[in-house]
Structure 1
Amino acid sequence: MTNKLFEPYTIKDLTLKNRIVMSPMCMYSCENQDGMANDWHYTHYSSRAVGQVGLIIVEATAVTPQGRISPQDLGIWSDDHIEGLQKLTKMIKAHGAAAGIQIAHAGRKAVLEGEILAPSALPFNENMKIPKEMTTEEIKNTVQAFGKAAERAKKAGFDCLEIHAAHGYLINEFLSPLTNKRTDQYGGSQENRYRFLKEIIDEVKRFWNGPLFVRISANDYHEEGLKAIDYVTMAKWMKAQKVDLIDVSSGAVVPANIKAYPGYQVPFSEIIRKDAAIPTGAVGLITSGNQAEEILQKQCADLIFLARALLRDPYWPQVAAKELGFKLQPPKQYERGWN
């Protein structure tokens, strides 16, 4: 039986050398609160490319200054950001990995000075700021900001783009009935709550024709919140809009007690993959090569997204390859110590 984890995977005109993806993880490392990439980002991401990850997705990168989670977040709201991101993509691709970026808006979970935005004026918890309910003009401007971010991502040389619609940030806040109490065309029915994401996807596709992923939170972990079955419907809508893959995470739209265990989000990926007939990525406490291989063999996902495992070990692919009995080609500089 072949090792699916180390099989190439093609999405549109992009072929990944394996199914291992570095999941976007915020680094909060911009030194001057200007959203500019710096030496930390260059070292952090390129080292995982040297480690033979197939696709590296750069952390949640803000489409507006107001859309940052923290003042130290990466930004893509200005043409000034392109040069630093261009350097980053070149470094990643020089080592054989594909370069992706997640574009995002924090919504009510922004920890910033000044006004923050959300679909409804509901704080995340008692310690967080009360956000301003967005006007239709602010919604329109934010949709356009996602489109401009996609255009800049293309200029910066990224191979793949992911829209962040998970983890309680702005798009997720529109999708969930727990956080969207609007009575206009952006609230109420599931179709109305999806409208904001629908418009963002359409706007992004005006500027971006490469592989397009959407990250979702497939379970709100609340009896009145969204479940995976709700996202099956939305995944079908995304598929109709030519989204290529759903990156299936869960939680964080409201405070919740989540019982996490190895592979705890994989069943959500399996449901969406099978019932919506769209490729998916599985993420969440995936730590070993055997575990990743089993997920792929059982057709629960098409790609394996790794987060903490790659923070602990930039060379996780080599460890997984040994575990699976696969001879992974090392960078020539590391041949003497790789196998």
Structure 2
Amino acid sequence: MRARGPGDRQVEARTGQLAAVEGRISPQDLGLRNDTQVEAFRRINRFLVAQGTVPGVQLGHGGRKASTGQPWKGGAPLAPDAGGGRPVAPSPLPFAEGLAVPDELTVDQIRLIVRQFADAARRALAAGFEVVEVHGAHGYLINEFLSPYSNHRTDAYGGDHDNRTRFALEVVDTVREVRPQDKPLFFRIPATEWPADGGWSADDTVRLAADLHAHGVDLLDMSTGGNVPGARIPVEPGYQVPFAARVRAETPMPVAAVGLLTEPAQTAKILLNSEADAVLLGRELLRDPYWAQRAARELGGEVHRPAPYHRSA
């Protein structure tokens, strides 16, 4: 679930600087832009809690990947009359040939986006989300600032490592200020760009992980890629786990492993070998919504079942 915050049209009423700018990837993305949406999520989250689960939300900005159609309909850039807008980015560099050239963000716009992350986090808290994850990976806005591949700025938000990570840390700081200390804050990071000459590296990730821990992030969600089109990624079961293991070994940051983790025994081995503190599943749960029950059965554990499902025990 991704909440639209930065660049939304609510801001247009307060400032002309971000007029017609969209932070959503597609017009169909969920958001936390107003109190009406907060109340809608509050009802959903009350139900989730009553069923024994913990609601969480991912907050992000699409950056130069924003204002496109639904992926299953081709994901092409959308004109304003189709619900799209002008994408923004650290530098005026399109993600790939044929995609829109984004507008380069001004410093004032960057600061506004940081505040909007805080606004979205504040609404997430009011809506009953127990966990918030800041999406800093997969070629979206925060990732675009991190990588010298997509960030060619020469001001305080570009150039060396400290400048390129400044925006990410400012977002984390403002979101952390909103979140009570007992409410977890996660950060999704691109561990590598596989590799791109001059791109974000595993060494960069280790360095940023330590900084994120110092700034109050509770867990690092270790993904890879997404900012360099055509990157050659050696996709295989557990292919991203070594990055999580390295960060866990070299920093105090707790980490979660992701990516082609499909079998209960596979995920249990990752935890037993101390390669990660948690495993996160996405697409596998779409393929198998009862994965947790299968894992409990195969590994000899138990999982909570909502009352209407008691007969499935």
TM exceeds 0.5? yes
- Percent identical: 46
How far residue 329 of structure 1 moved from its aligned partner, in angstroms, is 4.7
SS at match of 1:301: coil
- Cα distance between partner residues in 1 of 2:135 and 2:270: 23
Does residue 78 of structure 1 match 2:51?
Answer: no
Q: Which of 293, 309, 316 is the equivalent residue of 2:291? A: 316
How far residue 220 of structure 1 moved from its aligned partner, in angstroms, is 0.8
Q: Are the counterparts in 2 of residues 118 and 132 from structure 1 also a CA contact under 8 Å? A: yes
Does residue 203 of structure 1 match 2:174?
Answer: yes
Q: Are the counterparts in 2 of residues 248 and 265 from structure 1 also a CA contact under 8 Å? A: yes
- Cα distance between partner residues in 1 of 2:125 and 2:140: 23
In structure 2, the residue matched to 1:24 is none
Normalised by the size of structure 2, how large is the TM-score? 0.87
In structure 1, the residue matched to 2:265 is 290
Write the letter of the residue equivalent to 1:89. N
Does residue 226 of structure 1 match 2:168?
Answer: no
Q: Are the counterparts in 2 of residues 77 and 145 from structure 1 also a CA contact under 8 Å? A: no
Normalised by the size of structure 1, how large is the TM-score? 0.80
Aligned CA-pair RMSD: 1.2
Does residue 280 of structure 1 match 2:222?
Answer: no
1:124-181: per-residue Cα shift (whole Å, max 9, x none)?
0012110000000110110000000110001001111110000000000000010000
- Cα distance between partner residues in 1 of 2:153 and 2:257: 32
In structure 1, the residue matched to 2:186 is 213
Structure 1 unmatched ranges of 5 or more: 1-58
1:201-248: per-residue Cα shift (whole Å, max 9, x none)?
111122112211100110111232112221110011111111111000
Q: Are the counterparts in 2 of residues 102 and 164 from structure 1 also a CA contact under 8 Å? A: yes
- Cα distance between partner residues in 2 of 1:155 and 1:334: 30
SS at match of 2:168: helix
SS at match of 2:257: strand
Structure 2 unmatched ranges of 5 or more: 9-21, 69-77, 79-83
Q: Which of 238, 260, 264 is the equivalent residue of 1:263? A: 238
Q: Are the counterparts in 2 of residues 169 and 253 from structure 1 also a CA contact under 8 Å? A: yes
- Cα distance between partner residues in 1 of 2:24 and 2:212: 25
Q: Any residues of structure 2 matched to 1:28-39 within 5 Å, and which?
A: none
Q: Any residues of structure 2 matched to 1:161-200 within 5 Å, and which?
A: 161-200=132-171
Does residue 109 of structure 1 match 2:65?
Answer: yes
- Cα distance between partner residues in 2 of 1:73 and 1:270: 32
- Cα distance between partner residues in 2 of 1:133 and 1:223: 22
Q: Which of 251, 254, 278 is the equivalent residue of 1:303? A: 278
- Cα distance between partner residues in 2 of 1:187 and 1:275: 26
- Cα distance between partner residues in 2 of 1:310 and 1:90: 22
SS at match of 1:306: coil
In structure 2, the residue matched to 1:237 is 211
Greater RCO, 1 or 2 (C-alpha within 8 Å, sep 6+): 1
- Cα distance between partner residues in 2 of 1:327 and 1:114: 47
Distance 1:67 1:275, change over 3 A: same
- Cα distance between partner residues in 2 of 1:156 and 1:140: 25
- Cα distance between partner residues in 2 of 1:234 and 1:320: 33
Q: Are the counterparts in 2 of residues 266 and 283 from structure 1 also a CA contact under 8 Å? A: yes
